[in-house]
Chain A
Amino acid sequence: MENLVAYSLLATYSTMALYTLAFVLFTVDLALRADTEAGQKPTRWLRSAMALLILGWVLHGVATVTRGIAAARVPWANMFEFGLTATFVLVGVFLGVQFWRDLRFVGAFVSGLALLALGIVTVNFYVDVVPLPPALQSVWLVIHVCVAVLGTGFFATGAAISAAQIFQELHEEKRLSGRNWAFLRAFPEATVLETLAYRINVIGFVFWTFTLVAGAIWAERAWGRYWGWDTKEVWTFIIWILFAAYIHSRATRGWRGRSAAILSLVAFGAVIFNYTIVNLFFKGLHVYSGL
């Protein structure tokens, strides 16, 4: 078991190394595409970046699974494990949507975000494998956190595209111009990006709804009430409301486009806030960081 934990950590660090290389190559690709007239044509660096990202993702999967085996439970029972699994899902969502649409242009953002998040959780939130306290011994740990992880993965991808959309809109309005922003020629039009971000965020919203509901059912089992405005419940609710607002914003004149994209980024900011600040500094019943 000790060995497995060590292997998992080794795989995690290897993953980070591969993500770093992938991130660099994604960036090189964007930079080179800024110079070409067409701009849309992917360079050979992009294929190498994707290959490295996939290899890193496989190792990431190994790290996650061995962690789970070592703990003899799902690998998302504390903050480190949640971060490990959530970044795995994030990269998985990014890789998965390529079968549907070519979204490789946000590869730099996604690999950068995954690398940053994985680095932070490994360095700052790492805890050894310990058995679960009674409150976490529930089938709802599997369900509730699993859908939360999936929701987070989709929201992160959606945020990446929303960010690209804002830059692209400013670029189209010529408010961002010059060589530094020429890489945006590699991106689809802002309206296309908006639709993409929307569809991915909607999937995230459905998962988040499940998170909220599964959490309520678990809270009823464990704490005797399905809703009690615990700090974590409050923030899960806030995130849900913000994404609901985002979904409605697209049907509201004057809110489509950049305002909606900003709302999407604010809502994803709330997701990050909920995972970091609320977990570490807010008092509440969701004490599971293990720190």
Chain B
Amino acid sequence: MASLPPSDTSGHEGASSGERIGGQPADLDKDTLSFDTPGAPRKNRNAGAIINPRLGALGFARFVWRLLTSMRTALILLVLLAVAAIPGSLVPQRSSDPNGVVQFRTNDPELFEFYDSLSLFDTYTSPWFSAIYLLLFISLIGCILPRTSYHWKVLFEAPPAVPTSFARLEVTRTHRVEADLNAALDAAAAALRSARYRVVREGSAVRAERGYMRETGNLVFHVALVGILATLGFASGFGWSGQRVIVEGQAFTNQLSSYDSFNPGRFFDENALEPYGVRLNTFTPEYVMDESKGSWMPIDYTADVTVTEGQTSSGAALKVNEPLSVGGTSMYLLGNGFAPEITVRAPDGTVVFQQPVVFLSQDANLTSLGVVKIPDGLAEQVGMKGFFYPTATMLSSGALASSNPEPLNPTLTFNIYTGDLGLDQGVPRNVYELNTDDMTQIAGRHTDVDVELALGDSFELPGGLGTIEFSGLRRFIGVDIQHDPTQLGVGISTALAIAGLLVSFSTRRRRVWVVATAKGSATELSWGAQSRTDDPRLAASTDALIARIVPTDKVSS
């Protein structure tokens, strides 16, 4: 194959399969990333056609393989992949927006069931999406293999033989050189070599080719894509991620029980968690007033932490965009808010509850919601739903709102319930939710008793149950802790893919043949040049080669 100039290959049986990625005629391959040389040549151009009634199992398999590895199939799979990715942006995904999925279920349970049966909430792990990309990658591998072996061969071969006629080549030039045949050919070969052509002299002709890196880069790009998928397939099972809320003054130790939520990979092993501790000393947000909207916006979040590994402790700053690397994991600052410290005392003054309670913020001014559960120590189980306002301001409607994310007038309000907290049935309960089905409200909104506490205030629970006190105020941060073993492999593959892409797109593959004919004491040189890609500068580059030998005005095309 390599011995034929590209314009002749279209008539060759091996190149007749125009749709095969590995085998379209070279004249079709204009400046693309696709295969520009025939891969495994077809023995018979109708071998895969359906017209053969006795195809047999092997024949059928071959037919499917050809179909799958054809360029047209790859193209259709690419477009299908793009289309199949769309639903995942329209419907909330369990992976990126779990709350959205819950909301969807609440809003429309029937549609939820239907969508869920189509895996629409897990689009990117769904059978149909997986099927498309797996087929695409099989098709890709089916292209890469024959092309790599073919290109490998070509890399060590001499440039192709001189075509019988130059008539069909893109660029042809003829000129005289006042030198004998050998010297003229030497000069042509030298000009080609200095333009980084691979050059072979054969009799009265020179054959040359350059730009092999185009196909090399192309193959590297596609292999690197397979590398990304392979890394994801093999390495992601060893990764894990977990979430944790850390209140100022408290520490997190890296062990499974310390996580608020944990998502292990398939092959996760608990021993993989390296022991370390991270203590949150202070969390400092910074806000500015957005004058155009009249609202506060954050411009900086800094968590001052102490990291303890083994015997050594050191201070560090954890910020958005500046994750902390510790013990083979990365820790990311993803959330923050207030954790009012609440103290509950029994009528005799015994402290039955005293700790900072994480309140989740609901708006830009950090109006926050939280739940306190007191299962033991008081005459009855007590549950409280609280609102926290960093800067409480009375609206004209009489309701409270926060007007500033900084705690200028920190205020807590509570709805207080007594009854069964539902903690004794062994069912895991969300600490941020209070199920009041089996409880009776004794204070708060819609009752006669308002519970509104400034920092330091106490409140006597009705019926002499005890007292609650807003005894302190701290901040908390929400962190994500990840171990992602795919990063290295995906990173290397991506770098290779980009390198391959750049090299491939910036390289021109050209073939040049020079035939010499003795004309008395002088020599006539005929040049023929062919590009394997769209190459508007082919003529100019050929002329530049000739200009190294003779003045250009003596050249005819």
Interface residues of A (CB under 8 A from B): 127-128, 130-135, 137-138, 140, 195, 198-199, 202, 206, 209-210, 213, 216, 218, 220-226, 228-231, 234-235, 237-238, 241-242, 244-245, 247-256, 263, 270, 278, 282-285
Contact = CB atoms under 8 A, between A and B. Distances in A.
Interface in B19-51: 19, 21, 24, 28-35
Size band of the B side of the interface?
35 or more
Contacts of B487: 220, 226
B24 A224 contact: no
A151 B498 CA distance: 15
B301 interface: yes
Contact of B330 (A224, A231, A251, A282): A224
A135 B334 CA distance: 9
Contacts of A256: 28
A248 B78 contact: yes
B241 A224 contact: yes
A130 B97 CA distance: 28
A130 B30 contact: no
Contact of B71 (A213, A222, A225, A251): A251
Q: Which 10 A-B pairs have the closest CB atoms?
A: A251-B34, A224-B332, A245-B78, A134-B320, A128-B292, A251-B32, A234-B89, A241-B82, A224-B480, A231-B89
Given A248-B33, A248-B71, A206 B501 contact: yes
B58 interface: no
A241 B136 CA distance: 12
B297 A130 contact: yes
B81 interface: yes
Nearest to B290: A130
A241 B97 contact: no
Contacts of A216: 494
13 contacts: A128-B291, A134-B300, A195-B31, A195-B536, A209-B501, A223-B332, A224-B330, A226-B490, A234-B89, A241-B81, A282-B89, A283-B97, A285-B96
Nearest to A263: B79
Contacts of A195: 30-31, 534, 536
Contact of B24 (A223, A249, A253, A285): A253
B78 A241 contact: yes
Most B C-beta atoms less than 10 A away, residue of A127, A230, A235, A251? A251
B19 A135 contact: no
Contacts of A237: 85
A4 B18 CA distance: 60
B304 interface: no
Given A198-B31, A249-B75, A234 B88 contact: yes
B332 A131 contact: no
B93 A229 contact: yes
A18 B71 CA distance: 46
A131 B299 contact: yes
B494 A247 contact: no
A135 B321 contact: yes
A133 B124 CA distance: 30
B241 A213 contact: no
B466 interface: no
A242 B299 contact: no
Given A198-B31, A248-B71, A251-B24, A134 B321 contact: yes
Given A128-B292, A224-B241, A248 B74 contact: yes
Contacts of A138: 321
Contacts of A244: 78
B288 interface: yes
B170 interface: no
Contacts of A202: 31, 505
B498 A213 contact: yes
Contacts of B321: 134-135, 137-138, 140, 218, 221-222
Contacts of A198: 31, 534
Nearest to B299: A131
A129 to B, nearest CB: 9
B298 interface: yes
B498 A209 contact: yes
B28 A251 contact: yes
A17 B491 CA distance: 46
B92 interface: yes
Given A206-B501, A241-B82, A229 B292 contact: no
Given A133-B297, A224-B334, 4 more contacts: A140-B321, A202-B31, A206-B505, A209-B498
A137 B333 CA distance: 14
Contacts of A127: 292
Contacts of A248: 32-34, 71, 74-75, 78
Contacts of A278: 89
A131 B288 contact: yes
Nearest to B70: A252
Contacts of A224: 241, 323, 330, 332, 334, 480, 482
Contacts of B300: 134, 137
Nearest to A241: B82
B149 interface: no
Contacts of B298: 133-134
Contacts of B75: 245, 248-249, 252, 255
A148 to B, nearest CB: 16
B493 to A, nearest CB: 11
Nearest to B90: A282
A249 B72 CA distance: 8
Nearest to A227: B490
A133 B296 CA distance: 11
A49 to B, nearest CB: 26
Contacts of B536: 195
A252 B89 contact: no
A218 to B, nearest CB: 8
A130 B292 contact: yes
